[in-house]
Amino acid sequence: MIDLPEGFIYGGDYNPEQWLDEPGIIEKDIELMKKAGVNCVTLGVFSWAALERYEGHYSFDWLDKIIHTLYDNGIYTVLATPSGAKPVWLAKKYPQTLRVEKNGVRENYRGRHNHCMQSKIYRQKVGKIVTRLAERFGSDPAVILWHISNEFGGECYCDTCATAFREWLKKRYGTIERLNHEWWTAFWSHSFTSFDQIDPPYENGEYSIMGLLLDWRRFTTWSTLDYMKSEIDIIRKYSPDKPVTTNFMGCYDGLDYAELNEPLDVISFDSYPTWGNDSEPLWHTAAAASFDYAQMRGYRKQQPFLLMENTPCQTNWKAVNKLKRPGLQIMAGLQAVACGSDSVQYFQWRKSRGSMEQYHGAVVDHSGRDDTRVFKEVARLGEILESLKEIKGTSSFAKTAVIYDTQVRWAIDGMVGFRKYDMRYLENCQRWYRALLRYGIEADVVSTKDDLSDYSLVIAPMLYMTDDALNDKIRAFVKNGGVFAATHLTGYVNENTLNYLGGFPGELTDVFGIRNDETDALYPNDKNDLDISGRKYPIGGICELLTLAGAEELGTYDSDFYAGTPAFTVNSFGKGRAYYIAAELDDDGAQKVISSMFEKEKIKLSPLPEGIERHVRSGEDVDYVFYFNYSSGRRLVDDQTVEPMSVRIVRRKADGSVSLLF
Amino acid sequence: MIDLPEGFIYGGDYNPEQWLDEPGIIEKDIELMKKAGVNCVTLGVFSWAALERYEGHYSFDWLDKIIHTLYDNGIYTVLATPSGAKPVWLAKKYPQTLRVEKNGVRENYRGRHNHCMQSKIYRQKVGKIVTRLAERFGSDPAVILWHISNEFGGECYCDTCATAFREWLKKRYGTIERLNHEWWTAFWSHSFTSFDQIDPPYENGEYSIMGLLLDWRRFTTWSTLDYMKSEIDIIRKYSPDKPVTTNFMGCYDGLDYAELNEPLDVISFDSYPTWGNDSEPLWHTAAAASFDYAQMRGYRKQQPFLLMENTPCQTNWKAVNKLKRPGLQIMAGLQAVACGSDSVQYFQWRKSRGSMEQYHGAVVDHSGRDDTRVFKEVARLGEILESLKEIKGTSSFAKTAVIYDTQVRWAIDGMVGFRKYDMRYLENCQRWYRALLRYGIEADVVSTKDDLSDYSLVIAPMLYMTDDALNDKIRAFVKNGGVFAATHLTGYVNENTLNYLGGFPGELTDVFGIRNDETDALYPNDKNDLDISGRKYPIGGICELLTLAGAEELGTYDSDFYAGTPAFTVNSFGKGRAYYIAAELDDDGAQKVISSMFEKEKIKLSPLPEGIERHVRSGEDVDYVFYFNYSSGRRLVDDQTVEPMSVRIVRRKADGSVSLLF
Amino acid sequence: MIDLPEGFIYGGDYNPEQWLDEPGIIEKDIELMKKAGVNCVTLGVFSWAALERYEGHYSFDWLDKIIHTLYDNGIYTVLATPSGAKPVWLAKKYPQTLRVEKNGVRENYRGRHNHCMQSKIYRQKVGKIVTRLAERFGSDPAVILWHISNEFGGECYCDTCATAFREWLKKRYGTIERLNHEWWTAFWSHSFTSFDQIDPPYENGEYSIMGLLLDWRRFTTWSTLDYMKSEIDIIRKYSPDKPVTTNFMGCYDGLDYAELNEPLDVISFDSYPTWGNDSEPLWHTAAAASFDYAQMRGYRKQQPFLLMENTPCQTNWKAVNKLKRPGLQIMAGLQAVACGSDSVQYFQWRKSRGSMEQYHGAVVDHSGRDDTRVFKEVARLGEILESLKEIKGTSSFAKTAVIYDTQVRWAIDGMVGFRKYDMRYLENCQRWYRALLRYGIEADVVSTKDDLSDYSLVIAPMLYMTDDALNDKIRAFVKNGGVFAATHLTGYVNENTLNYLGGFPGELTDVFGIRNDETDALYPNDKNDLDISGRKYPIGGICELLTLAGAEELGTYDSDFYAGTPAFTVNSFGKGRAYYIAAELDDDGAQKVISSMFEKEKIKLSPLPEGIERHVRSGEDVDYVFYFNYSSGRRLVDDQTVEPMSVRIVRRKADGSVSLLF
């Protein structure tokens, strides 16, 4: 948690190295920042070439001056290490710092966040500049947080990485025999006789060993973590008292954030929902954003996170980059706060004049004006945040969790079968989260590694891959009185994607009291329904054919040759209950299943009005309840009237008193 | 033809090398095989790494033991040479055995059936292990058939192959002048002055010489055949009394099976129709399967073939992998038999536990149970086949043929014009075959190289490429009283894709009595109809503008600037007649044309009820008539009532007696 | 301008090197050419391999003989240099003449017009053969025009080109600091410290610097021009009296023809409209063709151009290659003449027998007949052109221009923002041109470099990129009384794609009297309308949010949060007026805007009947008015009745007399 500034952090990425030649622009920026209520900016993200224009020639004075001019004006700095974008000279002199792509070809200098994580020379060069930065600013009161590199991501297929991968495999499996067994290489004559024979999954290489595909992605996470730690070690040495973070990217699936977050003091991330797209209602887009927030929250229970980046206006890199409609920017910022963020930060402060991201929204546009719609909304949010100060540092307490696990996603994405490469794992997880949200149930989004014991209800959509620890954890959770719900594709494989023998859901068969005999895949034009007490809920994609083995049937298939067989079941196990939904449902179906479960559990539940999202942050003896109305009509909820496209925030004291905060 | 076992071969691919570590599983398998009526399995397809784990270290004992344990339990073995999947050590030590892809880059170790067919070292290594296998099992009574490698396919662009290609061209054309003429290189300044200048059609290489594209595919067939023969030679030496086969893949267009089948004793193939897809009625899917069977039958007239692979349940590699609906698996197996197969074999017996094909259907599922729907249907088909024993070895006699020729397909696929790369050759061939099937007319599917003299009717859709031999054969066929029907795109080019000068259909102009003046291509939204006596049949894709030159007009275009001009004609030539259909029709149109032709030929014809497919196998003085009902309603045909989704088999003796077999 | 022959040039590409072995075919061709009214053919385009079969061994006699046999028969020759397609021996011996593709890999020998423009050896080899050609035919009366190479296009990424690119950049920017500023590399740490660090935009290289992408395309034009000049220099030396041309390809965007045309004496180009496609009415296709003509006309004001290629029938390289409907070929030829062409030439005379373009339409088909529909129409057009002789050499005079600029297109295509890579620049330019055509207003299509002073109205759709010279030119144009109309996306960036600070439309803000505050992007399903006096016109894609700064509002947005704000404005500036249309309109909207503008300007305007296109060529005291009716009904226009799918040509003398020419 970040203590300074007093209230919420408000500001964003500031890249003044673009404007060093333009006289007066930095003074102008500070004036505008104050106008906007900004109290903190992120500096240095892309400054390497400005800090070290020629190899070994460092110039930190300009940065120092900006940091302190800002500080003198009441604006703190989040200081980034510059490794997110390397200078040209580095790439040209040390081509081994460039990544090798999946096709085996080393890339040319380009873009950003694309260095080889295992490159010794890269670490050396980064080490030098980070050391200098940390030495110089490590105890500077103007700096309140270290921002390690930027938006980690991507893979490298170079020989150094390939060698490191083999070493990593050796550690993981010990012997080649063990690896052969877990990767099931005996089929198709693929047995390895030495670790040296194993290559990364090049584009023109092996694609049929599931364990290889999965382990490569695990290795990439390990490699990134290993690299990130090398930067953090330096920071800790020279700046032991300042917290470190790195900015995640929501549901980015290239890395397992559940592992990567480990050495961080503060979780932060960048949120870029596709607001206003034409394929879903606005509250679905909002729900996708809060799904991400719920995930960030999950990494550090009870501790606020930071919204490190969001756009004050529009993005530039999506197919269609729509303006945020009036008020939406304020709603989006407050949604982050409602979900547990202690900051609202923008990318970026002043719009780039050319090339990279020149049409990505910014607080200050090319026109430089402070009377734009965007600037005025930013300034308005600055005021609002100031008025909500007391909420800072409070926590979110959810009793419900949805399991969304990046490694499960990898396993499913690599899977060849049923609906090939089209199993929609993320979409299913989001759908169940959204269904909970519709009932106003606050849920954390957790990984399979997380502790479940604090929750009373856990929903695990498509829990395809489980290991012994997870199986045991779920078993204990239910046995001890928890309610656990799983859907189609649960319990097929162990942690290396070896199928459970003896039937699915594998080790969890007795917990659920069912057996999955066959897994049917539907074509887009195929129709079936889940029948719950005579009402029908459409099914798409996947239908599992169940045999009851102790469970009670709560719903059945409506048609096809398995009409009338169980599709929704519940099993009492220990003090708890385990629900199973054997097919892919739509939103209505998921909501119906949830209400059926709560009815069964004798908990009263009524849905929020459509378009309403509700979140609660809790301090000592006080709850802050946030209501967001994403619909175009006025809504009444919990005795509060919420206008369309607006937010209402209520303070509820332990003594029962209720007051309107905003 | 395979004598053993007594009745139909029933079984499939068995890959026990996956399970050598699991105690008791092989005993369990044998027990289950007996339960299922299995009398034969295919072993060794992917066993190389298990037979030769380290270079030169062979271990055959485990295989020997399994073969003989099976044999002791009444189960024969089809023994595969292991070259379909190479071990990692081989690829790593001898990278020249790996293929070079179209982009000129050598692939990494991966997948299967992807070795360079011209690699000397590959042939050497394969030669050694095949020799040992053949020595050891060459006269073993447990082994009834050799299965050479597996599903041949693909191309290699390595230097060795490029050199071999040039040699092959030199043999084909003799002089570079002849090649230049046939490839028509004088245009665009492309004349070669030496064979050394010719490269394979690399991705970044020559794509505009039609003869090069075509010859490259011919060469690939030659190269594969040449390789396959090298394996067969060894088998013949050490196992002279056992037949050999290799498993084809239906209409796979990478190889010309019409040439590749030459050295085989028995034709076998793998059938994977997309049962239950949502874009066609079920009987169309069935008709596509029987089109493949008719083609397999065509390679060895009157001699049964083997269905070497089909899935007992679902595939894993299609976009959507739907379960076979109840009964369909039995229908599909009996359809193969009805069309001339003496076996029903599955891929595979026991489902792989991980990685490759872990979700491809198998007789024994991951659960290991014998009370699954799939296992029970497999066992039921085992019983049925046992009851149909007498049919084994009987033949199919068709008086009608559809010409579908892989090389014609290549020529059309390479063609740049009209509807670029979208001429739908296979679809048109299947459509005419299906129209015949609809009238209950049994047709063989033959290549342009086949003898036509036994047929009375031949339909040749889109016979774009003809050579002198084919022109003469068709001319003689019609002259001698045959009825020959051709469609749009007939007779445009010679065997090297040089256009016939003097107009199309080239040398066949007088046979058809028409001249094709222009070839129009329609956009998807363009409409026209074939008008036959006032009834309209939709036309798509292509319309040829004909001038009558002796032929009689049977139908005309309904609209556009060529409305009223001939689109369907007949010409008397010698004792026969040649029909020409100048445009691409749909199913209704094709059926109407067929009924018009039969009317003209004074043969009575009535369509089968919709959804019914009928096939006949004939023994001495006895016909076995199979009726399949792919519809959802009961159907009456030939006085037989056939229930929906079921099969009825009738024995019709020469004396007129009819009895129900199934 | 070409003096010979007396009337219009009529003929096309003739490639007899294909037929040198076929006795009598050339005599036959001459006989047919005379029958068709052909007076000129283009020879030598693909003759290199025939002229220099082995390196240094030249044989020109066959060509000489053909040229003079033709000449003796009254047929002139356009003689091409053969560099458009290189012989195999050249590529094999000098691989550096082959291009390197965007992926950094040198291509194999293939196709045509694909040599490295900077290859010294290529220039040397071309130089030798062109010298010999020019020496031999440079003053030959049979040859009336030099045709340099063929359809220039494409890029090369080889090291030689990379080095030349760096040199070119050095010349353009002088210092690396200047380049860094204009490319805005300070962001993302991309500053270069030396020109040597800059690479072409390889597939796996830099894609985020807009200036780099743009300059690479400029360099490619420079490199092509530089190469073309090297050929022209030789021609000028040995054949100083004969004009030179090269054939452009309409709106091909790989090169900036506005620069490339500079050294040419005559503009010529190849026109291949997608006649008869199913996604637009026929007159739209015709309008796209005349858009191209208007562009060609723009390069040499008042001087006729040549239609160097068009197909007499169908193309072979489009997805669907439909026959030209009866009469269309004649209409298309006369449309070229109406728009300012002094020729109608075909590709090609006799259809290739194989491989390349074997199904591309030709005057003489594979059948060799002269009674085909195509041949007869070609002959008919020959007669018509003979009867229109007096029109040759007359000019087109347009008072209106549409600015379509290839470099603006590049800048927009490279842009990342709003609707990423989908801004439809060409489509918008064509739409405004079409709207003018609909009112019978003849417009030139000009580049941003062209003089505007002769026009009274200029429409500049999406004038995204402007430089000082252009800004000044527009300012002066309006100040002096011109009417200028611009649309959304105007004035965002300078010539290196640096955004104008201070708001858009940058330096033109006061000319238009508006400020663009935000740019919204719409999803396909988003709807909005432009409201002009209560009538609604649909908007798609882009909406800019304007603030009036002097301009008058003529139309507003109909919905969304900017409903009622200005979307169509006019500003008086000096003696002229500047209109601004802030959103993307459809055809109806563009027509309405044009009629509103003309009303405002007090000019009477009425649309032509739908499907009618009208063009005028003017000689001394005489106008030739062409009416084309692309509709299926009879049309009355200017007292002339025009039958469906036909042309009417009227001679209007200065004395007011009107006579029908055709």
Contact B189/C110, CB-based, under 8 Å?
no
Distance from CA of A454 to the nearest CA of C (A): 43
The Cα–Cα gap between B262 and B250 comes to 16
DSSP bridge partners of A535: A532
A487 to chain B, closest Cα gap in Å: 19
Whether the CB of C289 is below 8 Å from some CB of chain A: the reply is no
Lookup: tokens for B193: 């002055």
Q: Indicate the pairing of strand B622-629 with strand C244-245.
A: unpaired
In order, the DSSP letters of B179-214 are HHHHHTTTGGG---SSGGG-----TTS--S-HHHHH
Which pLDDT does position C298 carry in this prediction?
A: 87
Cβ–Cβ under 8 Å, residues B13 and B42: yes
Mean pLDDT of chain B: 97
Q: How far is A327 from chain C (nearest CA, A)?
A: 11
List CB contacts (< 8 A) between B319 and chain A: 419-420, 422
pLDDT tens-digit series, residues B33-46: 999 999 999 999 99
Query: Which of C188, C211, C419 shows the shortest C-beta gap to A46?
Result: C188
List the strands of the sheet with B658-660, edge to edge: B612-619, B622-629, B646-653, B658-660
The answer to whether the beta carbons of residues C551 and C507 sit under 8 Å apart is: no
pLDDT for the residue A271: 98
**Contact with chain A for residue C397, Cβ under 8 A:** no
Average pLDDT, chain C: 97
Among chain B residues, CA nearest to A182: B354
C-alpha distance from B131 to closest chain A C-alpha (Å): 19
Residue C3 pLDDT level (bands cut at 50, 70, 90):
confident
Which tens digit of pLDDT belongs to each residue from C236-257? 999 999 999 999 999 999 999 9
- Give me the pLDDT at residue B1, please: 65
Query: What is the four-CA torsion angle of B542, B548, B554, B557, rounded to 10 degrees?
Result: 40
Chain C positions in Cβ-Cβ contact with residue B187 (cut-off 8 Å): 15, 17-18, 46, 352, 354-357
By the CB < 8 Å criterion, does C622 face chain A?
Answer: no
DSSP code of residue B306: E
d(CA B583, CA B486): 10
Contact C93/B at CB under 8 A: no
| C105–A contact, CB cutoff 8 A | no
Query: Does residue C613 carry a catalytic annotation?
Result: no
Q: CA B494 to CA C268: how far, in whole Å? A: 37
Alpha-carbon distance B243 to C137, whole Å? 71
- Contacting partners of chain C (3+ CB pairs under 8 A): A, B
pLDDT in tens, A38-91: 999 999 999 999 999 999 999 999 999 999 999 999 999 999 999 999 999 999
Q: Spell out which residues of chain C touch residue A49, defining contact as CB-CB under 8 Å.
A: 185-186, 189-191
pLDDT bin (cut points 50, 70, 90) of residue A20 is very high
Give tens-digit pLDDT for C368-392. 999 999 999 999 999 999 999 999 9
Phi, psi angles (nearest 5°) of residue B363: -65, -45
Query: What average pLDDT does the segment C303-324 reach?
Result: 97
pLDDT digits (tens, 9 = 90+) for B282-292: 999 999 999 99
Sign of the four-CA dihedral A191, A197, A202, A203: negative
Overall size of chain C counted in residues: 662
Angle at A186 between CA A183 and CA A190, to 5 degrees: 80
β-bridge partners, A625: A616, A650
- Residue B371, chain A, CB below 8 Å: the answer is no
Stretch 555-584 of chain C: residues touching chain A, C-beta under 8 Å: 561
pLDDT surpasses 70 at C466: yes
- CA angle at C306 for the pair C301 and C308, rounded to the nearest 5°: 145
Q: How far is CA C48 from the centre of its chain?
A: 27
Q: Are C494 and A296 in contact (CB under 8 A)?
A: no
Residue B109 has pLDDT above 80, yes or no: yes
The tokens describing B310, both together, are: 């089909």
Residue C77 identity: T
Q: Which of A108, A112, A314 sits opposite C202 (nearest CB)?
A: A108
Residues of B in contact with C357 (CB under 8 A): 187, 416
Which pLDDT score, from 0 to 100, does residue C2 have? 81
Contact state of C417 with A321 under an 8 Å Cβ cutoff: yes
SS3 string, B607-632, reads CCCCCEEEEEEEECCEEEEEEEECCC
What does the alpha-carbon distance between residue C205 and residue C202 come to, in Å, rounded to a whole number? 5
pLDDT in tens, B273-321: 999 999 999 999 999 999 999 999 989 888 999 999 999 999 999 999 9
**Nearest alpha carbon to residue C98 among B204, B180, B100, B192:** B204
Which residues of chain C lie closer than 8 angstroms to A112, CB-CB?
188-189
- Band of pLDDT at residue C414, cut at 50, 70 and 90: very high
Instruction: Please indicate if any CB of chain C lies within 8 Å of the CB of B100.
Output: no
Beta bridge partners of residue C659, listed in sequence order: C651
Q: How many CB atoms lie within 10 A of CB B384?
A: 21
Q: C155, C231, C309, C377: which is the annotated catalytic residue? A: C309
- Cα–Cα distances (Å) from B308 to B86, B275, B312, in that order, read 21, 18, 12
Find the angle CA(C384)-CA(C389)-CA(C390) to the nearest 5 degrees.
Answer: 130
Q: Percent of chain B, pLDDT > 70? A: 100
Closest CA to C51 of C152, C138, C131, C133: C133
Contact at CB, A82 and C192, closer than 8 angstroms: no
Which DSSP symbol is given to A342?
Answer: S
**What single letter denotes the amino acid at residue C376?**
K
- Rounded CA-CA distance B184/B494 in Å is 12
**Cβ separation B354–A493 shorter than 8 A:** yes
CB contact under 8 A, B319 and A501: no
Residue A556 to residue A569: CA distance in whole angstroms = 9
Residue C615, strand partner residues: C626
Residue B498 is nearest to which of C313, C322, C353, comparing CB atoms?
A: C353
Q: Per-residue confidence at C74, pLDDT binned at 50, 70, 90?
A: very high
Please count the other Cβ atoms lying within 10 Å of the Cβ belonging to residue A160.
Answer: 16
pLDDT in tens, B560-602: 999 999 999 999 999 999 999 999 999 999 999 999 999 999 9
The alpha-carbon gap from B474 to the nearest alpha carbon of chain A, in Å, equals: 44
The secondary structure of residue A208, as a DSSP letter, is S
Name C177's Cβ contacts closer than 8 Å, sequence gap at least 6: none
Work out the minimum CA distance from C227 to partner chain B, whole angstroms: 20
Q: How far apart are CA B189 and CA C111, in angstroms?
A: 10
The three-state secondary structure class of C472 is: helix
Which pLDDT does position C1 carry in this prediction? 65
Q: Report residue C414 as tokens.
A: 């490279």
Least Cα separation, residue B106 to chain C (angstroms): 15
Q: Chain A: residue nearest B327 by CA?
A: A561
Phi, psi (degrees; rounded to nearest 5) at C485: -120, 130
Residues of A within 8 A of C209 (CB-CB) are 355-356
Count how many pairs of residues, chain B against chain C, have C-beta atoms within 8 Å.
179
Residues sharing a CB contact under 8 Å with residue C335, sequence separation 6 or more, in sequence order: C286, C289, C290, C293, C613, C615, C626, C628
Contact with chain A for residue C515, Cβ under 8 A: yes
Q: Helix (H, G, I), strand (E, B), or coil: what is residue C597? A: helix
Confidence class for position C4, pLDDT limits 50, 70, 90? confident
Name the residue of chain B whose CA is nearest to A194's CA. B89
pLDDT on residue B256: 98
Are B350 and B28 within 8 A, CB to CB? Answer: no
pLDDT at C205 over 90: yes
Q: Which of B165, B184, B188 to mutate to test the interface with C (most CBs of C within 10 A)?
A: B188
pLDDT score of A1: 65
Q: What is the ipTM of this complex?
A: 0.96
A192·B53 Cβ contact <8 A: no
Cis, bond preceding B566 (omega within 30 deg of 0): no
Say yes or no to pLDDT of A325 above 90.
yes
> Given this model, what pLDDT does residue A2 score?
81
Task: Give the tokens for residue A143.
Answer: 């700096």
**What is the C-alpha to C-alpha distance for residues B473 and B479, in angstroms, rounded to an integer?**
10
Predicted pLDDT of residue B298: 87
Chains touching chain A through at least 3 C-beta pairs below 8 angstroms are B, C
From C46's Cα to the closest Cα of chain B, the distance in A is 5
Q: C416 vs A359: CB contact, 8 Å cut-off?
A: yes
DSSP A524: T
pLDDT of A4 > 90? The answer is no
Q: What percent of chain C has pLDDT over 70?
A: 100
The whole-number average pLDDT for the span A498-510 is 96
Beta-sheet pairing, B612-619 with B622-629: antiparallel
**Which range is least confidently modeled, A178-182, C477-481, C655-659?**
C655-659
Which member of A202, A208, A561 has the closest CB to residue B326? A561
The residue of chain A with its CA nearest to that of C417 is: A316
pLDDT at B301: 81
Q: List the structure tokens of A479.
A: 């046995």
Dist. CA B575–CA B475, nearest whole Å: 11
Is there a contact between A54 and C193 if contact means CB atoms under 8 Å apart?
yes
**CB-CB neighbors (< 8 A) of B89 in chain A:** 193, 197
**Do the Cβ atoms of A356 and C205 come within 8 Å?**
no
Chain C contact set for B184 (CB, 8 A): 18, 352-356, 358
Residues of B in contact with A422 (CB under 8 A): 319
From chain C, the residues in CB contact with B499 under 8 A are: 351, 353-354, 358, 366
Rounded Cα–Cα distance for residues A78 and A66 (Å): 12
C367 to B501: CB separation less than 8 angstroms, yes or no: yes
Instruction: Tell me the C-alpha distance between A289 and A332, whole Å.
Output: 9
A372 touching chain C per CB within 8 A = yes
Question: What's the predicted TM-score (pTM) here?
Answer: 0.97
Residue A579's closest CA among A563, A565, A594, A559?
Answer: A594
The answer to whether A187 contacts B356, with C-beta atoms less than 8 Å apart, is yes
